[in-house]
A and B are shown apart, each in its own frame.
Chain A
Amino acid sequence: MKILFLIMTSFLLLNCKELILPIKSDIKYDLQKALLGKKLFFDKRLSKDNTISCASCHDVDNGGDDNRDFSIGVDNKKGNINSPTVFNSRYNLAQFWDGRAKDLKEQVSGPIHNPVEMGSSLEEIIKKLENDKYYKKQFALVYKNGFTKDNLVDAISEFESALVTPDSRFDLYLKGDKSALSEDEIEGYRLFKKNGCISCHNGINIGGNLFQKMGILKEYKSKVGNLGRYEVTKDVEDKSYFKVPTLRNINKTSPYFHDASAKNLHDAVSIMMEYQLGMKANKQEIEKIVKFLKTLDGKRPKILDKK
């Protein structure tokens, strides 16, 4: 029995390579729509008082989030959850920490309507922007029925789905360039797998494809009272379950966790090991894992430089 199990696990370990896949460098999206969405993404008029744009909290020049614990919305209102990165969000099984939006389209209207974020509404935006010559012209050009709520949402989500960060050093390594990572980093990756981080952070987005409980082996007490998935499903079993976040560009998206409780990667990794894996890791191991995590910074999305 034991031998059989060992054989099986070692056999499965051989297939570990396939647990994480590199981002394809050419993804399909509608450039016209995405460019229109880009314009909207940076347009502060999408907020109630013209102070906040999508880009205010999802700084595309800086990891796709705002590096604050909690984002600041209209009227300087503070949110109660850490902004996740907008990068590679197309690969997530759902959007938001609690996964309440099944896709990017559903996600778009979330922050717009949230009173502590943009505090506006799609109707209001349409009213505000329908006389804008640029939008009027461009929407008429790209969409059959011009500037509508649906098309607005569609354009923004199209832009967001174009925000991928391919060709991180780790991706290059996965693609076969063994020199792309240093020995420590490779060792970090090995530890990442061995310790079981990869059980939840796998797939193309190194996370983002399942919900997991925060505090499996040790109860996690958060300063914020967010119960994650439970807020959506109202299923007791879903309490404290959150969408496993992507680890891509993790180096640029501090602070970490939904409650922004980890300010740096060291803290984040050690918390994860303690609460999720139930193990006390030594500092060296953490160091190496952090080194590995830093190889996940991808290239700037091409769409940002397109006009």
Chain B
Amino acid sequence: MKKVLIIIFVFISLIFSLVYTTDHSNKKIEDFFKMQKNISYLISTNKNFDIFMSSSISYNNFDVIQKDIFKIKDILSQIKKSNYFDKELIAFKSDFLQIDDLFKKKIKTIEKLKSTSAVLNNSYRYIQTIYEKLDNKVFNTIYTRIIGLEFNSEIDIKKLQNQVNSFKVKDNTEKIFLVHAKNILQYFEKFQKQKQDIEVLSLNKKLDEFEKNFNDYSNVFIKDIKTVLWSIIILLSSSLVLFLFYYTKIAYQKIQLNRFKQAVENSDNIIMTTDYHQKIKYVNENFIRHTGYTYKDVIGKRASILKSGLNSKKFYKDLNKTIYSGKRWYGEFVNKIKDGKLSYEKTSISPIFDEKGKIIEFLAIKLDVTKEKNIEKELKEKEHLLSQQSKMIALHEMLDSIAHQWRQPLSTISTAASGMRLNKEFDSLDDKTFYELIDSIVDNTLYLSKTIDSFKTFFKTNHENTLFNIKNTVNKVLDLIGYKFNENKVEFISNIKELNIEGLEHELIQSLVNLFNNSQDAIAKNLNKDDEKFIFLDVYDDNENVVIKIKDNAKGIDEKIIDKIFEPYFTTKHKSQGTGIGLYMTYEIISKHFYGTIEVNNSTYMYKDKEYTGALFTITIPSKKDDRNK
């Protein structure tokens, strides 16, 4: 911008100098032509003088020549007054002074010439009259010679004078004739001398030379003026070119800027700039669309009008600290739009600096993530619901298990108690029987109490990670559902390495319970009563991972659905039996809480020289906590 100003300044000053130079040159040229006119006037008037000199002796109106004399004097004094040859053309000064001097001399001589010619004119005229009256013919020759003087330059005046002087006059007429003849000769001599004096001055030549030199000078100074003018014109045009160059550059920048502006205007992001004090300076169209505010509502207002109050004070403090220190800030606003709805905005705020590095503006680019937030929230709610459902199922299962496991001891206790009563009534209660029955009641009660402990562990909704032994965990699982294996005549074959895992034990228990239940359900469904039924559990460590493999011999999972079994609400069981949550919850627990993986495939294997096929679930859990955090 500064450059453009400088160019404009240079441009204007060049124009001024051009105008000044032109004006100055004009004056110079004007002066020159004025002087030239004066000089040519001097020359032409000088020619008038020469014409006057060379004209024959006769009557004259001396006013005519006097006018020329006045004019010459006037011009010469004008030139002197103008100081033209003192300032402009000092080189010509001496020549001019010489001409001035010559003119003075010439004029002086012309003044004399006037008198002389007047005298000659009169004597010439009068001598003719006198001659007519003369009788003596001796005067003939002298008369003709005198008359012819003017036209015959070869006549010797001195000789004539001698002749005239030698005449002896007889009468008055002759005397007058001779007086006039003498007068003519005397004045004619004077006349010629005066003419000669003027010729000697050779003013003509001098003037012509002067005029020539003066005109030559004009070429020099016109050339000078031309040079100056041309250089100014060249400078002017080059600065014009420079100006145009910068102008196009600026125009190009403007186009670029406009392009960016368009991009910002039409961006899908919400873009807003504020001044240093966070007063809104600009918002793009998407802002208007998104917030429902009009430009008038927000321009000039503080950015805090968008606050919902759901971000903490610390949040804003951190934000301000970051941006005012000149750094970029990233974060997520919970703002409020015009109709009061919340808006989640993923935002980056960048400070914008001037040339000196001072913050002048802030640029906020926001992405509206409200939709995503809502989906996430919904998902979370759904997950919570699922987990509740799975808990309920688990509870149901436990109750089932309790009912099952307690039925036996309770009936034993009940039988023992009623046996004691009967024996007492029949008085057949001997001490041996009494103690046998009491022992049986106590044993069974203890067993009940022990199973309650197991259940308690299962329902302990501890949310803190603990380090637990996988073998104990498996035992706990067996405590819970081991009875089912017996009922269904499932042979449980386990090979468990003693390993420790950190995490929520009850969740792993739940997962294992789910998997064992599924296996049992598959066995019940796919195998006959008389078939041998197996569930294998292998736990070992492999490359810092704990690997848990659960395998059955229930012929495997239909390949068509094997990819979908971890999806929520997917079930192969009858509605009354399955909810479709178990495997989904297991997947969630392993992947999200233990940072592990769970895979499933159908496996065909040999056991005791017989071939079996069944589903194989492989759980891989990183044994170190660090690995889980990756």
Contact = CB atoms under 8 A, between A and B. Distances in A.
Contact of B59 (A202, A211, A217, A277): A202
B144 A1 contact: yes
Given A12-B58, A21-B63, A279-B126, A199 B118 contact: yes
B592 to A, nearest CB: 110
B242 interface: no
Task: Kindly name the residue among B73, B111, B183 whose own CB sees the greatest number of chain A CB atoms within 10 A.
Answer: B111
A233 B108 CA distance: 10
A5 B150 CA distance: 10
A202 B122 contact: no
B179 interface: yes
Interface residues of A, number: 41
A109 B114 CA distance: 29
Main secondary structure of the interface of B (DSSP, over half): helix
B66 A209 contact: yes
Contacts of B179: 217, 278
Contacts of A30: none
Given A209-B66, A211-B115, A278-B183, A196 B122 contact: yes
A93 B125 contact: no
A19 B56 contact: no
Interface in B531-588: none
A28 B111 CA distance: 27
The 5 A-B residue pairs whose C-beta atoms are closest, nearest first, are A196-B122, A203-B63, A209-B62, A199-B118, A210-B114
Contacts of B126: 195-196, 277-279
B151 interface: yes
A241 B61 contact: no
Task: Kindly name the residue among A9, A205, A237 whose own CB sees the greatest number of chain B CB atoms within 10 A.
Answer: A9
A129 interface: no
A277 B147 CA distance: 18
B60 interface: yes
Interface in A194-249: 195-196, 198-200, 202-205, 209-213, 216-217, 233, 237, 241
B121 interface: yes
Contacts of A216: 119, 183
Nearest to B108: A233
Contact of B62 (A203, A213, A278): A203
B180 A196 contact: no
B112 interface: yes
B111 to A, nearest CB: 6
Interface in A160-212: 193, 195-196, 198-200, 202-205, 209-212
A16 interface: yes
Given A210-B115, A217-B179, A277-B122, A203 B61 contact: yes
A98 B11 CA distance: 66
Nearest to B183: A217
Nearest to B172: A280
A105 B144 CA distance: 49
A259 to B, nearest CB: 19
Contacts of B122: 196, 199, 276-278
B115 A213 contact: yes
A13 B126 CA distance: 14
Interface string B49-73: 0000000101111110010010001
Contact of A196 (B61, B62, B63, B125): B125
Contacts of B292: none
Nearest to B127: A278
Contacts of A204: 63
B273 interface: no
A18 B115 contact: no
Contacts of A193: 59
A202 B108 CA distance: 20
Interface string B18-59: 000000000000000000000000000000000000001011
Contacts of B151: 1
B147 A2 contact: yes
A28 B298 CA distance: 85
Given A205-B63, A278-B176, 7 more contacts: A1-B151, A195-B126, A199-B60, A200-B115, A216-B119, A217-B123, A241-B115
A216 B148 CA distance: 22
Nearest to A91: B63
A140 interface: no
Contacts, number: 94
A280 B125 CA distance: 15
Nearest to B148: A1
B476 to A, nearest CB: 131
A8 interface: yes
A279 B176 contact: yes
A15 B59 CA distance: 9
Contact of A8 (B58, B61, B66, B112): B58
A279 B175 CA distance: 11
A140 B61 CA distance: 42
A203 B66 contact: yes
A307 B274 CA distance: 87
A200 B118 contact: yes
A210 B183 contact: no
A20 B63 CA distance: 9
Contacts of A199: 59-60, 118-119, 121-122
A2 B143 CA distance: 11
A10 to B, nearest CB: 11
A237 B147 CA distance: 25
Contacts of A16: 59
Contacts of B58: 8-9, 12
Interface string A259-284: 00000000000000000111110000
Interface in B96-122: 108, 111-112, 114-115, 118-119, 121-122
A220 B111 CA distance: 21
Contacts of A211: 111-112, 114-115
A5 B59 contact: no
B63 A209 contact: yes
B66 A93 contact: yes
Nearest to A200: B118
Contacts of B148: 1
A210 B66 CA distance: 8
Contacts of A210: 62, 66, 111, 114-115, 118
B121 A196 contact: yes
Contacts of B111: 210-211
Contacts of B108: 233
Nearest to B180: A278
A213 B120 CA distance: 13
A217 B180 contact: yes
Interface string A1-40: 1100100110011011011110000000000000000000
A210 B114 CA distance: 7
16 contacts: A1-B147, A2-B147, A13-B59, A21-B63, A202-B59, A202-B61, A203-B61, A203-B63, A209-B63, A210-B118, A211-B111, A217-B179, A217-B180, A278-B122, A278-B183, A279-B176
Contact of B123 (A12, A19, A91, A278): A278
Given A198-B59, A203-B63, A212 B180 contact: no
Task: Kindly name the residue among B121, B122, B179 whose own CB sees the greatest number of chain A CB atoms within 10 A.
Answer: B122
Interface in B114-140: 114-115, 118-119, 121-123, 125-126
Contacts of B56: 8
